[in-house]
Structure 1
Amino acid sequence: MKPLVRNAALNNYVEVSQSLGIDARALMKRVGLDPVGLAVQDRWIPGTAVIQLLELSAAASRRGDFGLLLAERRSFSNLGPISLVLRDEPDVRSALELLVRHEHMYNEMLRSRLSGANGLATLKVSLELGEAMAARQATELAVGAFHGVLRSFLGARWQPLSVCFTHDAPADPGTHRRLFGPVVEFDREFNGIVFYASDLKAPNPMSDPLLRTYARQYFESIAVSRDTTVLDRVRELIEVLLPTGRCSIEQVADSLGIDRRTIHRHLAASGETFSAVLNATRTQLAEQLVANPRRSFTEISGLLGFSAPSAFSRWFRERFGCSPREWRVRGTGQRPSGEE
């Protein structure tokens, strides 16, 4: 199946796009992503859509450094729950190894590896896309983000021995040199960062030994396996695709890189059907959205993937036994007929 990434991968995308004079909303729609959905950082979206979006944005803005402009704005919070543990790891090695070991918790495309030899440490970064496609911007974003993490531990003046990219140099390497210094190199055999192994022994200045145990316990309670089920992925993608008006089993299958029969088979093994999962997801979202008086029913209709407010109203009445307006007025939080 095609990999997914957290919405947080696109943190500050809208702001950077606006600063460069390009239409973020139009470009996101073009690759099937919902701009409003970016507000939910822990929602998962198709990784290939993010790759395409970054390449389109670089072309539209005529900025070959678009990925790095995003990397400059990265912070620990972009990593999600794992960031809470990183802050209290005792040293750089422990933090970096934790980040590499649990990379699937924030980006299923990312493959990173830390190795050491002859007094040097090498962090290699690659992306597994499941298909051939240009990924220069996403690669530079990933390497830039790791570089930012290392600097957060080692200080703003820290500089690696080399920052390597397999692609050729941009026409204007100004941003690359500003971010990485004079050590950035192109046309190398791998993407990643080379630095002194002794840097890994540096103590983490942010660490609080008293909080470390609690942070670890919390993280272990929420850490997820790499083996996310098809049902989990389908639910995530339905939430992502509903506002685009393109939520069909064919679109979900395409986002996952499998055919619809495979989805039917996996869902059947879990006692589910696509239509049942779609309806359940819509129902859960409808309860949350209709209860919010700041949302208009026309807006909610679009967010739930209906072609017209009238179609949404009919579906809602069939599902909940009353109109959306009546539900909102009652404010009782009742559930659909026949459910507990």
Structure 2
Amino acid sequence: MAKPLARYAALTGYIELGRMLHMNPAELLRSVGLDPAGIALQDQWVPATAIARVLELSAAASGHEDFALKLAEHRRLSTLGPLSVSIREEPDARSALGMLIRYQHMYNEALYIRMTERDGLSAIQISIDPGEPIPIRQSIELAVTVVHQLLRNLLGDRWNPVSVCFEHRRPADDATHRRMFGAALSFDHDFSGIVTYTRDLDEPNRLSDPGLRSYAKQFLDTISAPEQPTLEGRVRELIELLLPTGRCSIDQVARSLGVDRRTLHRHLTKSGQTFTSVLDATRAELANRMVSGSRYSFIEISEMLAFSTPASFTRWFNRQFGVSPRQWRKRTAATAAAALELDTDVSRNGQNRVPKG
């Protein structure tokens, strides 16, 4: 069974916070197999284990047990991606929270939220299952804070939960927790999450515009039933993620997916693929994009695509595209220049045309 994935958006603000806390955030990301440049691609999916690991490493490196809470302060509702459009327009906090729970797979496959109600209180229980037994304290604190922020956005600053609970121990300094949650804190609890008055969840969503609700529903319908990611698709994503680290092998990809090498090979064979064919196709797509532009030198591209030498990259590129990388870049630049010249001529002719009448 493949290990769960999460969107890069989970690390929104990570680079900025890392620098503020005098860490080397790029180095920490690379240490868990994440590409620092990938954070800008918020909708890209990466192994949830890598995100959990980098959060724990960052808390240790910075000396801040409240690292996840500080990271959450960089988040906005839009960090939830397309789902935020519909959540914003739900009529009350209960339906907004219900939508968050119903579509949680759209932003984090390792996150599980459920809600129970009893005696006028609602318990929002939050758990994380990254697919292997690793520390998840920071991931839990991030998730709890995100749900708390969502309810605060919907209900306003006057709302406060009855209590905020964590299964792990109390930190040596809980000042940030007390400041952010403004409620009774319970550590070493039997679940992690938020307890609030049930009646608060029925309060109107102050962000909602009833006139936009039907449009938000139509938008959600277009994105809420995506096809389940195929194994080949996940292999492609992991290859793209691992290539710049120099650790892109079938064994590493299999471990990231939570299967062994033989199982991965068997599944790819069923779809008429091999690891090498998927690797070459992914490399070709990346090479086409990088060589067509001028941002990277050919030496940088060969390193980012994990070739041993620039010469081996050039030979591979020739086999794939029938020309050298240099020829490909010149051809692409010439095509772009010709298109620009044509657009300019059309625009000039349109401006010089004298209207009849």
How far apart, CA to CA, are the structure 2 residues paired with 1:309 and 1:7? 30
Change (3 A) 1:312 1:156: farther
Are the aligned partners of 2:160 and 2:183 in contact in 1 as well (CA < 8 Å)? no
How far apart, CA to CA, are the structure 2 residues paired with 1:248 and 1:146? 37
Partner of 2:63: 62
Partner of 2:112: 111
Partner of 2:272: 271
Change (3 A) 1:79 1:161: same
Deviation by residue 1:35-92 (Cα, 9 ceiling, x = unmatched): 1111211111111111111111111111101111111221112111111211111211
Aligned residue pairs, count: 333
Matches within 5 A, 1:1-340: 1-224=2-225, 227-331=228-332, 332=335
Look up the equivalent residue of 2:132 and give its one-letter code: E
- Rg (Cα) greater in structure: 2
How far apart, CA to CA, are the structure 1 residues paired with 2:225 and 2:234? 13
Instruction: Give the structure-1-normalised TM-score.
Output: 0.94
SS at match of 1:108: coil
Of all paired residues, the percent bearing the same amino acid is 54
How far apart, CA to CA, are the structure 2 residues paired with 1:261 and 1:239? 21
SS at match of 2:127: strand
Are the aligned partners of 2:162 and 2:183 in contact in 1 as well (CA < 8 Å)? no
Instruction: State the shift of 1:210 in Å.
Output: 2.8
Root-mean-square deviation (CA), in Å?
1.6
How far apart, CA to CA, are the structure 2 residues paired with 1:153 and 1:77? 13
Which segments of 5 or more consecutive residues in structure 2 lack a partner in the other structure? 337-357
Are the aligned partners of 2:137 and 2:168 in contact in 1 as well (CA < 8 Å)? yes
Change (3 A) 1:284 1:224: farther
Instruction: State the shift of 1:179 in Å.
Output: 0.5
How far apart, CA to CA, are the structure 2 residues paired with 1:271 and 1:212? 44
SS at match of 2:237: helix
Which segments of 5 or more consecutive residues in structure 1 lack a partner in the other structure? 334-340
Look up the equivalent residue of 1:220 and give its one-letter code: D
SS at match of 1:322: coil
How far apart, CA to CA, are the structure 2 residues paired with 1:25 and 1:259? 29
Change (3 A) 1:215 1:118: same
Instruction: State the shift of 1:226 in Å.
Output: 8.2
Look up the equivalent residue of 1:152 and give its one-letter code: N
Instruction: State the shift of 1:319 in Å.
Output: 0.6
Instruction: Give the structure-2-normalised TM-score.
Output: 0.89
Deviates more, 1:295-304 or 1:23-32: 295-304
Change (3 A) 1:226 1:150: farther
How far apart, CA to CA, are the structure 1 residues paired with 2:132 and 2:277? 30
Instruction: State the shift of 1:301 in Å.
Output: 2.2
Change (3 A) 1:226 1:108: farther
SS at match of 1:171: coil
How far apart, CA to CA, are the structure 1 residues paired with 2:217 and 2:278? 34
Are the aligned partners of 1:105 and 1:224 in contact in 2 as well (CA < 8 Å)? no
Instruction: State the shift of 1:311 in Å.
Output: 2.3
Partner of 1:337: none
Deviates more, 1:68-77 or 1:144-153: 68-77
Change (3 A) 1:110 1:226: farther
